[in-house]
Amino acid sequence: MLRTGGGVRNISAALVAAAFVPILVFLAVQAGSYAIHYAFFFPTSFSWSRARDDLWQFLALAPYIFIVATGHALALGLPVFLWLRRRGKANGWTSALAGFVIGCLPMSVFGFPSRSQINYSYSANMWGRLRELVVEGAPTLWGWVSYAESLATFGACGAAAGLAFWLAWHHADQPSSSD
């Protein structure tokens, strides 16, 4: 099972990796979205001061992303990884797939467009235009696209975290050349 010392070192390294990687993935997704937004939809409205302010706003979220990612890694990722490892199925692919599912899980439940509020409508800026996401309590096609984008973003963070967890675990499990 887990060796004394080595197991704790493996778990610690893997949890730290799984908690930091989603910050980088989320930053990359946001930067890509930002670049596409200003390069294709609003090239004349770009300003470096706005970009700097947006970056600082994102960096203010980083501790919260770290806390949520750590909670996911401890409560969901570690038990799933240990279960896969016990069955001899833990590898980069299964860890990334499990991470994707774990990353999507909260958003799929709490972000699901429901029809519970009949007199509720919601619009947002998507792809350079104001889009109706919910009309009279019913999600529109753009609402479903927004939901899918959110799932993909959180799933990508989870997949990267799962892969980082496995890589850190695997690397820490390898005997060093000085042994």
For 92-133, write each residue's pLDDT tens digit: 999 999 999 999 998 888 888 776 667 888 888 877 788 998
pLDDT at 3: 47
pLDDT at 177: 57
pLDDT at 158: 94
pLDDT at 110: 86
SS3 content of the chain, % helix, strand, coil (to 5): 75, 10, 20
Q: How many residues does the chain have?
A: 179
- Least Cα distance to 13 among 160, 156, 173 occurs for 173
**Which residues does the chain have with pLDDT short of 70?**
1-6, 115-117, 173-179
Q: pTM (2 decimals)?
A: 0.80
User: What are the φ and ψ backbone dihedral angles of 131, each rounded to 5 degrees?
Assistant: -120, 140
